[in-house]
Structure 1
Amino acid sequence: MSVVGNSGYRVLIYSHDTFGLGHLRRCRTIAHALVSHRDDVSVLILSGSPIIGSFEFRSRVDFVRIPGVIKLSNGEYTSLNLNIDVDQILAMRESIIQHTADVFNPDIFIVDKEPLGLRGEVESTLQMLRHRRTRLVMGLRDVMDDPVNLREEWDRKQCVPALANLYDEIWVYGLKEICNPLEGIDLPPGVEEKMSYTGYLPRTATRRPAPEHGALGLEEPYYLVTTGGGGDGVNLVDWVLSAYETDPDIPVPSLVVLGPFMGPTQQNEFMKRAEKIDKLSVITFDANVEVLMHKSAGVIGMGGYNTFCEILSFDKPAVIVPRTVPRLEQYVRAAAAEKLGLVRMLTEDGGRDPREMADALRGLIHQPKPSHVTVPNLMGGLDRVGELVDRWLPPQMAAE
C-alpha cells in the first residue's frame, strides 16, 4: 500500500467498554504509541465508553463512539442511555462496528479482551476482515480472572475456537513470569504459538500542568487515592476516609479521585466527610490522572491493569486493595506483584479496620519503590507492540 499523501497504514482497535475506564485507557495508550512509533500509521478506536470525548487524542488517532451498554448485577446487559431493547442496541453496535471496519479497511485489527466482542458483536467483522487478509490480533491484559471462572466464561462464549480459527496473533500485555492470562484454559494446538508476551504498557505524564494543588487545599507531598472508573471503588474510599477520621495525625495528606462512574449519592457523602478532614481533598475525575500520580508520594488503588502500569511507570510505592467481585483479576495481579516485592496488598478479609489502613498510610512514605526489584523487560510493552506491528506492515516509505 502506498503511504504518500493522505494514504497510509491503518489500525482499528475495538474496546467494548461496558464498565469503567480500563479498556479505553489501554487502547488509547497503544494507539498513541503506534502513531509515535510510525508516521505512516493512523489509528481508529471503536468504543462504547460514554466519556471517551473527555480524553485528548493525538494527531492520527480518532474514535467512533458506539451506543453504550451496562452490565446489571444479574449478568444481563441494558442500554446505557437509550430507552430501547438491549437486542436492538446490540444489533446497532454490531452494524456500526462492521460498517466502520468495512470503510476504514484496516491493515491490522486489534480486539481488546473479548475475542468475539460483547455478545459476539465483533464476529461478523472478524470474518469479513479475515477474507481481506487483515491481520487480526487479540489483545489480552496480564490477568483475565481466576482460571476456574475464566474457563467457565470462555466455554460459554465460545472464545477458544475464535482464538484458534480467527486470530493471527495474541498479544499479552504483561509477562509470563508474573501471570499467564490463559492459565487453566485447554488450548487447541497452535494457539499458544500465537501468543507474544509484550511486557507491561508504560505510561507518561502529559505536559499539561495538573490542577493547582493549593486550590484543592493540598500541598506536596501527598498520596493519590484512585479508584479508576469508580463504579466499584466505594469500599476503598470509605476505608481511606475512615483511616483519617480515626487517626488525624497521619503525616501525609491524600487526594482522592472518586471516578466518574461512582454514584452521585456516594460521591456527595464522601465529599461531606472529607470536608471535615484537613488532610483530605476530593475530586470526581481528571482525564490526566497520570500527572497527579507522577507528582504523588505514593498511591492507594484497587490494582486494575492501568493503575498497576502507572504505579510501575512512575515508580511509586503503592498499597493495593483489590476487588474480588465479580472477578478475581485485581487480586491475582496484586498477589503476584506483592510476592515480587513491587507493591503492598491489603484485603478486606478481616473487615475494613481503619487502624490497619492508617498503619499502611503511615508506612507508605517509607515503603520501597517498585524499582528496588529488578524484573527484566517489565515495562517493555509499547516497544514490543511497535515491533509486532512492524513485522506485519512493510517498512516506512518516504513521501515523494
Structure 2
Amino acid sequence: MAYDVARIRSEFPSLESGWAQFDGPGGTQTPRSVGEAVASVLTGPLSNRGSLGVSERLAEEAVHGFRLAMADLVNGHPRGIVHGRSATQLAYDFSRHLAKEWAPGDEVVVTRLDHDSNVRPWVQAAERAGATVRWADFDPETGELPVEAVTSVLGERTRLVAITAASNLIGTMPDIPAIAAAAHATRALVYVDGVHYTAHELPDIGALGADFFTCSPYKFLGPHFGVLVAAPELLETISPDKLEPSTDVVPERFEFGTLPYELLAGGTAAVDALAGLSDDPDAASSRRARLVASYAALHEHEARLRTRIEAGLAELSGVTVRSRAARRTPTLLMTFEHHEAAEVSKRLAAQRVLAPSSNFYALEASRRLGLGDAGGLRVGLAPYNDEDDVERLLDGISAALA
C-alpha cells in the first residue's frame, strides 16, 4: 500500500512547530481540513436544525453528515450513532440508563486493563443498584487479557461486560469477538471502549460483537467529543431521563441539548482524512472501502516505525518496555532502572519531543503492573509520525539515560 508520510505531514499545520509528537494516544494533531470544516460551519450561516432557511439546513446537514461518516467508520447504522461530550460522559450516561434495570444479585464485569472511564461508571452504577462487580484480570508479565479471564467471572446473572478493545496504556488488544460471544451466551450486554483502538484498527462493530462501542474523534485527527455506536433496535429499548419536549426518536433521545454542529462537521472531516491516508484508494469507491485501504497502509507504516523503536530501545540498558502482548497497537509504555519516567519525559521535551509520563487514567492497569499511580513514559504513534521523529525519540531517550 502506498503511504506518503511527507504528503500527510504537510496537512498538519501544528507540525511546523518542529515538535516530534508521540502523544497520539492522548490526542492527535489535527489536519487543516478538519479545522477548515469546523470554521466553515461555525461561521455560518448557522442556527438550530430545520428546513426553512439555509442556516437551519446547514445544521441539519452537519448532523446527517456526521452520522453517515461515523457509520462508515465503524460499519454501523447512522441511526445508531450517538454524540456525547466525551467517551467518559457517554459511559456515565449509559451506565445510568442501563442500571435502571439492575437489581441486587445481578453482576457486572469490568477489567483491570481498562481506562478508568470504562471502569468507574459501571462500578458506581452497580453499587447504587446493589449489583455485584466481578473483575477480570490481565497478566502483568505478558500484558495479555485472555478470554478465560473474562469467561471465568461470567454467570447467569451477568448483565453487562465492560471491556477495552485496546489498552490506552500498553496497547493490548483482547479477543473481543470471543469475549462477546461468551458474554452473549449468558445474555449479557457488551460495552466496548474503542477509543484507543479506533486510532489504529478499523472498527466493525458487527464482527467485534459489541452491543455498544465508543470512540473519540480527537484520538483520530478530529475535534474533542465522543461517539457511541449501537444497533438502533437496541437503543429503542433504552429509556433515558430527558426533557419533556425533547424528541423520543433514536438516536436523538440520548443527545441532551443543542448539538455542536461545527464539531460534528469536524468529525466528518476527520473520517474523510483517515479515508485519504493511502494514495491507493479509488476516489470513486465508497468511503468504507477507502477506509479499509487507508487503515491497511497505516498498519504497515506504524508497524515499521514501532519495530524501529523497539529495536532502538533494546540497545539501551535499563529500559523496561511494558507493552508485550502479541496483538497490540503501536503504543509503548516504558520505565527506567535509574531514572523516573517523568524525568526522562522532561528531558525529551527539552529536545522538542513530546512523550508524556503518567498512568493516563488507566489506573487499575498501572497499579497491576506494579507502577502505582505514577505509571510510565508512553510513546504512541500516529499517522503523521515519520522516521525522523523516531530517531529523535531514540536519541533523546539515550541522552536522557546517559
What's the TM-score once normalised by structure 1's chain length? 0.31
Relative to its length, the structure with more helix (as a share) is 2
TM-score by length of 2: 0.31
Higher relative contact order (CA 8 A, sep 6+): 2
